[in-house]
Structure formats: C-alpha cells, structure tokens
Amino acid sequence: MKKEYWVIGVIALIAFAFFIFSIFFWSCFGCASPADLMTVENARSYGCGNLLENHCNKTTNEIKIEYFDANKDVRLNEKDTLFELCKNYYGVETEYGCKTKVCGCP
C-alpha cells in the first residue's frame, strides 16, 4: 500500500516539475518573434557592423535592416535601411552624418 503512494507521489512530482519548466520556457521563448527581439540599438549595431565590415564604402541605403521597422511604416520590408534608421531614430538627415555620427566611420 505504501509503495503505491510513493509511485503516485513521484509521478505527481515529475508532472509538477514539467509544469513549472513549461511555464518558464513559454514565458521566455514562446511568443517572441525576431521582430520583437530586435531593438533600436541592436538594429544600429547590425547596420553599422555591416557598414564597418565594408570599410564604410557602402551607402547606408544599400544596407537593409532585417526584423526592425527602420522607416516606421509599420511593415518589415526592403525599405528598412540603415539610412532610414539614422533618420527616424537618431535624427541624422545625411548619408555622411549617418556614417560618421551614428556608425563611427572616419
């Protein structure tokens, strides 16, 4: 009789641990899409990193920012570029300003 209660207790403990783990997992990873995870600073790092890898020779309109609405049109599309990010989030209106002030190109 005691052995049956022990087995039921172990099964209940395992089920409870699985329940807690699944709550933790879904709260951290369940509903997040890549667009939710990208912040302005992450988008800037991605775009400026791409620019610096090319020795600042690319134009900022050539560098697409994926998973972030850089031009604030509420859509993720090919119009989301590093230049739009500089203009809309950093207040820089020129190609030169975007490269030097935002990305640190010489």
Query: Which residues of the chain fall short of a pLDDT of 70?
Result: 1-3, 26-37
The pLDDT of residue 37 is: 60
The pLDDT of residue 16 is: 84
The pLDDT of residue 85 is: 95
pTM, to two decimals: 0.66
77: amino acid identity, one letter: N
The pLDDT of residue 90 is: 95
State the burial class of residue 59 (Cβ atoms within 10 Å of its Cβ: 0-12, 13-18, 19+): middle
89 with 62, same domain: the answer is yes
71 with 24, same domain: the answer is no
43 with 86, same domain: the answer is yes
Coil, strand or helix: which one is 68?
Answer: coil
Cα–Cα distance measured from residue 7 to residue 16, given in angstroms and rounded to the nearest whole number: 14
The pLDDT of residue 50 is: 94
Range of the domain at 12: 2-31
39 with 6, same domain: the answer is no
